[in-house]
Amino acid sequence: MNNELLHHLEQRINEAVEEIGSLRKRISELEMQNYELSEEKSEMQSALNQTKEQQSNWESSLSQMLNRLNQMDAK
């Protein structure tokens, strides 16, 4: 009976060790995925900021052109 109990406990410990190893591997995978997503987010944020700056520049240019046209019409 004692040997059976020890054997059963040994099996449970081995299963737990395997599960811990599996969980550590999954954590590593998720950490890498998180890093990659953070990099992608940063790149997308940078692209968005550039697009916003371009839009602002275009709006400013259009506004200047409209002002010039209005000044020409007023003369």
Q: Tell me: pLDDT of 34 over 90.
A: yes
CA count, 13 A, side-chain hemisphere, 63: 6
Q: What is the mean pLDDT of the chain?
A: 95
Q: Both tokens of residue 22?
A: 């599996």
* pLDDT score at 58: 97
Tokens representing 74? 């007023």
User: What does the pLDDT read at residue 12?
Assistant: 98
What is the sign of the dihedral through the CA atoms of 37, 38, 41 and 47?
Answer: negative
